[in-house]
């Protein structure tokens, strides 16, 4: 398929003047120069992705005098550098909605701690306990406890049952090993969900 046909010239995204065709060698775009334009040089601000074509001598000259910020005031250059820290995207100050004073020194960790403290106090005030799922209920039942058991009670009960069922503490009696495995699995599950 030949993409350099006149039919495709009408639908090209780049203007035909900037395209370099394989049968044409690019020429230096410096006035009066007839050498090959082998080197690209950026056209400048507001022309991103567009380039001049120069020979080695003229690209060196161009690069020595090139200034992306030419024509900008010092304050505009400083604003540009400041905006480049956020990728030239808009940002907002913490507390814009009035939750925190804009000039106060607060980091994300302290905001999260404050939120968690409020949730904990609200839960304690309401007398609510974290809801327990079916698997956790089953694990609690295998330890002989109900859903109202706290971490200390669960740990104490596990230690008690482990001592009672462990073969080393029962003169090597291995008849209760399956029950011990079930207790250990239940305790490990309760630990993994944060109940023990």
Beta strands (DSSP E) in the chain are 39-42, 51-54
Read off the pTM: 0.36
Burial of 84-104, coded b for 16+ CB within 10 Å and e otherwise, reads eeeeeeeeeeeeeeeebeeee
Q: Exposed, middle or buried: residue 124 (CB in 10 Å: 0-12, 13-18, 19+)? A: exposed
Average pLDDT, the chain: 81
For the segment 105-122, the average pLDDT, to the nearest whole number, is 80
Largest separation between any pair of C-alpha atoms in the chain: 104
- The closest alpha carbon to 63, from 24, 30, 101, 92, belongs to 30
Q: What is the Cα–Cα distance from 163 to 157, expressed in whole angstroms?
A: 10
> Domains in the chain, start-ordered, CATH in brackets?
25-72 (no CATH), 134-192 (1.10.287.110)
Tens digit of each residue's pLDDT (9 = 90 or more) over 146-178: 888 888 999 999 999 988 888 887 777 778 888
pLDDT of 105 above 70: no
Compare 45 and 35 and report the one with higher pLDDT: 35
The answer for residues whose C-beta is within 8 angstroms of residue 121's C-beta and 6 or more apart is none
Residue 25 pLDDT level (bands cut at 50, 70, 90): confident
Tens digit of each residue's pLDDT (9 = 90 or more) over 37-67: 999 999 888 888 899 999 999 999 999 988 8
Q: What is the Cα–Cα distance from 188 to 149, expressed in whole angstroms?
A: 16
The answer for residues whose C-beta is within 8 angstroms of residue 43's C-beta and 6 or more apart is 50, 51, 52
């Amino acid at each position: 398929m030949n993409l350099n046909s006149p039919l495709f010239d009408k639908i090209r995204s780049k203007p035909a003047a900037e395209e370099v065709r394989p049968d044409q060698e690019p020429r230096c775009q410096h006035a009066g120069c007839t050498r090959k334009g082998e080197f690209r040089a950026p056209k400048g601000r507001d022309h991103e992705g567009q380039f001049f074509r120069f020979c080695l001598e003229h690209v060196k000259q161009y690069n020595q005098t090139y200034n992306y910020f030419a024509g900008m005031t010092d304050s505009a250059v400083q604003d540009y550098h400041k905006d480049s820290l956020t990728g030239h995207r808009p940002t907002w100050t913490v507390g814009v909605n009035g939750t925190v004073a804009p000039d106060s020194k607060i980091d994300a960790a302290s905001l999260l701690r404050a939120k968690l403290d409020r949730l904990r106090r609200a839960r304690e005030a309401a007398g609510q306990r974290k809801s327990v799922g079916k698997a956790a209920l089953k694990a609690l039942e295998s330890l002989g406890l109900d859903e109202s058991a706290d971490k200390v009670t669960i740990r104490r009960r596990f230690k008690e049952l482990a001592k009672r069922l462990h073969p080393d503490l029962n003169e090597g009696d291995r008849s209760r090993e399956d029950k011990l495995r079930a207790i250990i699995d239940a305790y490990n599950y309760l630990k993994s969900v944060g109940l023990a």
